[in-house]
Chain A
Amino acid sequence: MNLINLRIAWRNIWRNKLRSSVVMMAVTVGLFGGLAASGIMKGMVVDMVKNSLENQVSHIQIHHKDFKANNEVDFLIENSSGIIERIKKNKEVKGVCERTKSYGMASTASKATGIMINGIVPEKEKQVTQIYNKLSDSLGNYFISDKKNRILISEKLAKKLNAKIKSKIIITFQDYNGDLTGGSFKVEGIYKTQNGMFDEQNVFVRKVDLDKLLDMPANSSHEIAILLNDFQKAPEVLSQIKPAIPEYFSEAWYDIEPYLKFTSTLTEFMLLIFMSVILLALGFAIVNTMLMVILERTKELGMIMAIGMNRFKVFKMIMYETTILAIVGGALGILVSVIFTWYFGNVGIDISSVGEGFESMGFGSVMRPVLEFADYIQVIVLVFITGIIASIFPTIRALKMRPAEAIRN
């Protein structure tokens, strides 16, 4: 391979160390800024999706065909345990649980608010969601007591209802027969997820207690939630489950909460746009530098064209120089970004002081930047393209020179 052009380009870059270093530093800082911001954005979204799936949505859900539209208690899944046993046989399934769900009103002596009551089987729920993990030590337990009518409420709801551990909360709702019913529940634990909106609306009670109050038929539920070993296998597992229970409506997380998938895709797209805009700006800086370089080396370029260097080779020589500027700066920017993402991905950036608004949108109060290998590859490709495109204009300028005049310059 003929490396003379590459050697000339590399040495030319260091003819003016200060100027080249400034351009490279601009690329480094620009790329780092873009990658760090993208990493934080992506990290927040990944965190939001993960939390939503782990605390709330799981990977696949099964309902009565009409339940989602109306949320009526009589749209049941019958023979829940039989269906669960069949689903458990799938190798990709990590955990399955059934839930009874009902809208109702929670009230204390001072306040009342609308809520979604989730009747869960605590041990089974542990296999699917992380609610049991969201109780701090000082704020009660996750259904340790054998006593009936215990309830888990969120910190946010506790504040709203002015309730504490062992406080009594009256829950009222319509039962299976359409009659108004209710029960008194004692707060056993107070949880807190990263999704303020979810927290405000959801309470958890034992399924057996709720079924009794709702007068639910035996072995029935409103929702079966499935957690998989790998969330990306959801379409594959769904295609196996659907034909096995055609009478019920099965759907994967991206259909249950389309905004999760949309937000994920949008973030990827934003990363591409964001980095492209940054590189476009850096490209202009490189073009400007290279135009100065061409001006300074008029004689030299005239000479090499006079002795017989053709247009393509001139383009290659300028392109190498431009691309090296972009790539060295880009490589440093990526290196700093890798270190930043690795460090803060582990340690996290605490934004709890300003995180109130974020939490209500489902984002965590600790940001952990995330960038994948593919993201870096995408940026490397963009840097390459920038280098090549940025060399076109200076090359055109160089090729317009008439060698005889350039030499006499």
Chain B
Amino acid sequence: MSLGREIRMQIVDRSMHARVGHIGSALSVADMLAALYGDVLGREEPQGVDRDRMVLSKGHAALALYAALVATERLDTSALDRYCADGSMLGVHPEHVVDGIDFSTGSLGQGLPVAAGAALAARLQRSARRAFVLMSDAECNEGSVWEAAMFASHHRLANLIALIDVNGQQALGYTRDVLDCEPLAERWRAFGWDVHEVDGHDAEAISATIHALDVEHGPPHLLLCRTTFGKGVSFMESRIEWHYLPLDAEQHARALAELRA
């Protein structure tokens, strides 16, 4: 089974048992996280100072991150068994106290500034480590994203690699209707970034694009990953309500059956 499919099965399963939502957002980043955790990110010790840093800035997709960490043996599966249980460290949004998670997130617009700081630290400390950040397209509504975008290109942070999950949806509607952020590629290029457009459900293409980046010289990098919200579960795909809705037992069975097929 592909890592992306493994992550999706966990998302559907765990969210049903925890009776929580944000399922569609998690499904849309499954293949991006599969590329990062299955291939791109190194396997250094979780506390090693020279490890790559990764910020899941769209913190509401944390379940996909937990699933990726478990599937790649960075996090014990017993921790995921307690997802959203009373007293669990694994909530809907990720916290840095969990093994394998570098930064706590959940408030949109904070991840890129932090990742830029992590990239800048590597430069000051003459470390080869890279800083990754995964944002949502609607997150670009936040002004702080553009503060950091300006800073990173001005300072030529070549070791900063941002991925945006362009699923075209946000909490209450389609991004084009709520606050249109397109043309994203032109906007980010105008801010001085090295922009690549990729299929956000093609983990191999995402990996290959990242491996080909010059992370020592030049501008910071952005992968605009075009995705389908709710990818892999037909009744969720591109449906606004699955930003928040939890699954019932019948929907859960249908979703798992589709993912197994």
Q: Is this pair of chains taken from one and the same complex?
A: no
Q: Which residues of A contact B (CB under 8 A)?
A: none
Q: Which residues of B contact A (CB under 8 A)?
A: none
